[in-house]
Structure 1
Amino acid sequence: MMNIKKSLRIGLLKCDSFVPDIKNKFGDIDTQFKNLLNSNTKSMDIDLSVFEVANDQFPSKEECLDRQKFQGFIISGSKSSVNDDKDWIKKLKEYIRFFSENNVKTIGVCFGHQAIATALGGKVSLNPKGWTVSDYRIDYINDSNFDKENPLVFNDIVKQQQKQQQQSSSSSSHLNIICINKEIVTDIPKDFKIFAKNERSDNQAMYFKNQFYSFQGHPEYTPELIKATILSRRGIIPDDVIEDGVNRANNSNIDKSTFANGMIDFFVEK
């Protein structure tokens, strides 16, 4: 029987661009998200429309509410801080509040994760542990009430590990994700749930009903991309952190298709 592909239309609110050397080698931020989403194993075609919001290029609010045009939005990472006093960041947060009021599905990644938090009443601060870069494990927080709502990334992992957990004392389901950040969400918006943490931060991922879903890390990054990125930031990121990050990237254990599948589940489930 022929496998007929379905289509998903997503808007990417692109909050930055890579420096020319990185862009020339790997493509820009939108290329990373296209590659990530196209790694899905759900026979889903992805139509990704890119909006350069850092250049004040936003979709119209009418477009945002048209479910035939967009099934949801992704907010990308950025070298900017969500606490910066920039007009486009203020406008982005206003859009996030508009999304909240109108039940527009939204995924946030790194800066996007933090923008969602601050737009909706949370707080972002410097991480006292300093920079977090490259491949890190994140652990699923087991919450039986949340589990009933969660259609996301960890579902397959939880199912795969249930048998192992029944036979061992371990109750941790986990994934690896690539990170590059020195700020973290320290207070979450009302009624949000944190569903992943690690040694670097108690909030590595958060979720609100079936509307907001966000990661502190970068599921779209590859090990080679993060190596090139951190090496380009010598003088900004400490040398010992860069060295550790390169080592982590060389031994990376990320599974992009699992993240892609979870993101697609989020957008398609009612």
Structure 2
Amino acid sequence: MKPLLIVNVGSAPEKQLSKFGDFELWAKLAIGETSLDVAFHDGIHTPIPDNEMLAGVVIMGSLSMVTEEADWMKRLASEIRQLCKNNIPVLGICFGHQLLAYAFGGQAGFNPNGLEVGTVEITRNKESENDPIFSTLPKQFLAQTIHFQSVLTLPENAVCLAESVLDNHHSFRIGSCVWGVQFHPEFSAEIMEEMLNNVAETLGQDRLTEKKQQIRATDNARQILVQFARLCADRLNG
């Protein structure tokens, strides 16, 4: 069976890595039961395999930033465009979301509103109402976030699907099979609490304590990965 490929573009911070495993494992656990084979892939050092052998692709988050424009990012952006051309479903998460925007002519950079972190409310917009993934979610739902950079300018052919108070472009779709989400559907509440410790100095003790008290489970956000995997499976079976 063609696999759903989860592409790792950099390891999780050391403390979270030792406690929870790496980013791609978090995504697999969030997807849960699926008829698809789920495979992991090193997107930094290895090109994405032949498109005809894939059910779909998930591009994970990273400690790197798209604005670095490293050679491997440019190569992966080119591969993403080819996936889209071949009608292979793609989901980008956080860094992956920003790389999708970059790949199709949008702009990523430091969010002028600053760091967005913790459990935040996401609001999906009118354009999401017929989206095969987002239409199943409530109008407002909670999601885990941690990012300094955002998609500042969407690609011309992108449709914005959701926003937060600090980020106007929390999700977008290109065509019928490419999605980007700035938030983290793969984060559990426990992972989010650990991640907050990584930005403790930026937040300060009072805000860190407040953010930890606001952490909630984000089952609706997790459905992004569940629904994406289901869409990939349905396409194979269709």
Under a length normalisation based on structure 2, what TM-score does the superposition of the two structures give?
0.89
More displaced, 194-203 or 97-106? 97-106
Q: Which amino acid aligns with 2:226?
A: N
Q: Which residue does 2:198 correspond to in 1?
A: 232
Aligned CA-pair RMSD:
2.1
TM-aligned CA deviation for residue 260 of structure 1: 3.4
Length-normalised TM-score, structure 1: 0.79
Asked whether the 8 Å contact 2:36–2:233 carries over to 1, the reply is no
| Offset, 1:141 | 0.3
TM-aligned CA distance change 1:221 to 1:228, over 3 Å: same
2:75 is paired with a residue whose SS is helix
Paired with 1:196 and 1:264, the residues of 2 have a C-alpha distance of: 20
The equivalences for 1:1-270 within 5 A come to 9-38=3-32, 44-54=34-44, 56-60=45-49, 63=50, 65-66=51-52, 69-143=53-127, 147-148=129-130, 150-155=131-136, 157=138, 173-235=139-201, 237-239=202-204, 241-249=207-215, 251-255=216-220, 258-270=223-235
Is the CA contact (8 Å cut-off) linking 2:113 and 2:166 kept in structure 1?
yes
Structure 1: state its 5+ residue gaps: 1-6, 158-172
Displacement, 1:84? 0.3
Name the structure 2 match of 1:165: none
Moved more, 115-124 or 203-212: 203-212
> 1:14 is aligned with what amino acid?
N
Please tell me the residue identity of whatever aligns with 2:20: F
Between structure 1 and structure 2, the one with the greater Rg is 1
Q: Deviations over 1:137-188 (max 9, x none)?
A: 1111013xx634x11133253xxxxxxxxxxxxxxx1221101101111111
Amino acid at match of 1:122: G
Q: For 2:18 and 2:140, how far apart are their aligned partners in 1?
A: 33
Measured after TM superposition, the shift of residue 262 of structure 1 is: 2.0
Distance 2:2 2:119 in 1: 29
The answer to which of 14-23 and 260-269 deviates more is 260-269
One-letter code of the match for 2:183? G
Matched to 1:238, the amino acid is L
CA distance in 2, matches of 1:152, 1:89: 26
Query: Equivalent residue of 2:126, what SS?
Result: coil
- The DSSP-based 3-state class of the residue aligned with 2:58 is strand
| Percentage of matched positions with identical amino acids | 20
Match of 1:162 in 2: none
What is the Cα deviation at residue 221 of structure 1? 0.4
Cα deviation, residue 222, structure 1: 0.8
Letter in 2 for 1:151: P
Aligned-pair CA distance for 1:232: 3.0
- CA deviation vs aligned residue, 1:194-248 (integer Å, no higher than 9, x gap): 011111111111112322011010000011111112213434x332553333222
**Rounded Cα–Cα distance in structure 2 between residues aligned with 1:260 and 1:116:** 17
Partner of 1:193, secondary structure, is strand
| Distance verdict in 2 for CA 1:102–1:89, change over 3 Å | same
In structure 2, stretches of 5+ residues that fail to align are: none
